[in-house]
């Protein structure tokens, strides 16, 4: 099959692109490299079945030009930072809503009933958990503009399915981690301090906030299942690790995986304030619980295979071999 991956040089997109290329598919990586990295796709440049295009999802004409003969569009390109979405909601909306509309319009204009669209949605669409685990029917009450823009993109996928017969699915990612992850989220903060700097991780509050983590390789496995499968209309799937962990326990898990023998530090900056230890910003409207019900995805014959500690160890080994990748300003 011929598959277009927007954001194909990013953290998740590069793993998807690499996996599809290894399987023998013809892969078009479409990325503007604003956050995607050449290093993420360095191994793919020499592959004859991979084409790399420097392009932006806001460039509708360029997107249309890339759609010829495409069987599947994996739309991974997005503005991902919660903090950036809060400080500049207009840019977040342009990239995540207008960018998604451009992708859908390009598909409609080219081969509407022939191309499948796999859309990278987010667990951020749910907001604070009313019940746990959160299934696909859980109320959608996003805490931040990022969740609003991702849900809007999903609703447009559904509308294009209803109006034009487009086949689309939304994959609602929990917190994705693994090799090539960008620096700024809490797990990367813990790993950098413990494994690279030899310092204890800093936990905000009492550390009892619960989070759901999925290893990037497990996510890719379900994504590729949807590449091969067929369906009608629009479908949404939660993709998580099958449980949740407290932030306090996550810090200790990193310590164990790095075999450092230290203890976490606890600090309680106000929401929207900054750590006096690390300078890290604490997100406003912080979720108490994020835990996804993944039974619908599992009904397709998939399940997450990577234990959190094992996945963290893989990420630690990767960043120790590539420390410069996180010698950058944190993205929040």
Active site positions, annotated: 146
Q: Which phi and psi angles does 243 have, rounded to 5°?
A: 180, -170
Q: For residue 164, what are the CA distances in angstroms to 22, 112, 156, 234?
A: 33, 7, 11, 11
Q: Helix (H) and strand (E) counts for the chain?
A: 11, 13
Yes or no: say if 180 and 127 are a contact pair by the CB < 8 Å rule.
no
Nearest of 148, 147, 129 to residue 139 by alpha carbon: 129
Nearest of 198, 186, 185, 96 to residue 149 by alpha carbon: 96
For residue 267, the cross-strand partners are 204
Task: Let me know how long the chain is.
Answer: 332
Cα 124 from Cα 118, distance rounded (Å): 18
Q: Which phi and psi angles does 235 have, rounded to 5°?
A: -130, 145
Nearest of 15, 76, 70 to residue 44 by alpha carbon: 15
């Amino acid at each position: 099959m011929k598959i277009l991956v927007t954001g194909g040089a990013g953290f998740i997109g590069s793993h998807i692109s690499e996996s599809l290329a290894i399987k023998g598919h013809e892969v078009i990586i479409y990325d503007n490299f604003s956050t995607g990295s050449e290093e993420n796709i360095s191994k793919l440049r020499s592959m004859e079945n991979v084409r790399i295009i420097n392009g932006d999802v806001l460039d509708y004409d360029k997107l249309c030009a890339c759609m010829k003969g495409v069987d599947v569009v994996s739309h991974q390109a997005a503005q991902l930072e919660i903090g950036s979405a809060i400080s500049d909601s207009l840019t977040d909306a342009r990239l995540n809503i207008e960018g998604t509309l451009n992708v859908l319009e390009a598909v409609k204009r080219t081969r509407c009933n022939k191309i499948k669209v796999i859309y990278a949605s987010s667990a951020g669409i749910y907001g604070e958990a009313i019940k746990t685990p959160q299934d696909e029917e859980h109320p959608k009450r996003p805490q931040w503009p990022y969740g609003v823009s991702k849900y809007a993109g999903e609703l447009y996928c559904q509308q294009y399915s209803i109006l034009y017969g487009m086949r689309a699915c939304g994959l609602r990612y929990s917190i994705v981690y693994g090799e090539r992850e960008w620096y700024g989220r809490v797990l990367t903060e813990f790993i950098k301090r413990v494994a690279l700097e030899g310092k204890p991780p800093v936990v905000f509050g009492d550390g009892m906030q619960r989070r759901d983590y999925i290893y990037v390789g497990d996510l890719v496995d379900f994504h590729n299942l949807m590449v091969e499968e067929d369906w009608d209309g629009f479908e949404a799937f939660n993709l998580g690790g099958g449980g949740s962990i407290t932030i306090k326990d996550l810090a200790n898990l990193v310590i164990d995986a790095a075999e450092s023998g230290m203890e976490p530090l606890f600090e309680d900056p106000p929401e929207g304030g900054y750590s006096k230890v690390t300078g890290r910003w604490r997100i406003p409207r912080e979720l108490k619980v994020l835990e996804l019900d993944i039974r619908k995805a599992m009904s397709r014959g998939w399940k997450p295979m990577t234990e959190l500690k094992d996945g963290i160890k893989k990420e630690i080994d990767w960043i120790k071999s590539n420390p410069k990748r996180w010698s950058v300003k944190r993205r929040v």
